[in-house]
Amino acid sequence: MEKTIPKGPRVHQKLNSEDLFYLLKEQDQVSPKKSVNRKCYRCDCQGRYCDGFSVSLNPTLVEKIDGLEKQLKKTVQIISGVRCEKRNVEVDGSKHSFHLLGRAADIRCETISIDELAAAAEIVGLLVIRDYRDDVVHCQWND
């Protein structure tokens, strides 16, 4: 049976509270962790609005996604990593998107389903949202 992808504006699924967003944003500013700058996680505004890393990329997020690839024995494609505010608006991202904090990535793996990828991401400790509209799994790290 073929999936029907809804038309119209995106419906944002809640994974966290607004309070958590601001708490983690402040925490990252006060005691930043060592940043990781991997090209595949760069903001995809292509330099129109930022240098690719408007915020630090959370190293634990990267470690978890690396662990996911090892577990799957497959390459995971990063569709969207860090986002600057202007790019987030362009893609109709949530106002409190964890991409804005460097704590989220939308991923895909061509050889497995979204549901299988999401389940594997949860096993390595990531929080996930299955995005059937864009055929990706949103992964984030909150600690």
Quick one: pLDDT at residue 19? 77
Quick one: pLDDT at residue 10? 46
Quick one: pLDDT at residue 32? 57
Q: For residue 132, what is the domain's CATH number?
A: 3.30.1380.10
Quick one: pLDDT at residue 66? 95
Quick one: pLDDT at residue 35? 57
| DSSP string over the chain | -PPPPPPSSPPPPPSS-HHHHHHHHHHHHHSPPPP---GGGS-TTTTSSSSS-SSPPPHHHHHHHHHHHHHHTS--EEEE----HHHHHHTT--TT-GGGGT-EEEEE-TTS-HHHHHHHHHHTT-EEEEETTTTEEEEE---
Quick one: pLDDT at residue 119? 97
Please give the tally of structural domains in the chain.
Answer: 1
Q: Does some domain include residue 9?
A: no
Q: Does some domain include residue 124?
A: yes
Q: Does some domain include residue 99?
A: yes
Question: Which pTM value belongs to this model?
Answer: 0.80
Q: Does some domain include residue 6?
A: no
Quick one: pLDDT at residue 23? 76
Q: Per residue of the chain (143 residues), give pLDDT as tens.
A: 444 444 555 444 556 677 777 677 777 765 655 556 689 999 999 999 999 999 989 999 999 999 999 999 999 999 999 999 999 999 999 999 999 999 999 999 999 999 999 999 999 999 999 998 889 999 999 88
Q: Give the domain extent around 37.
A: 33-140
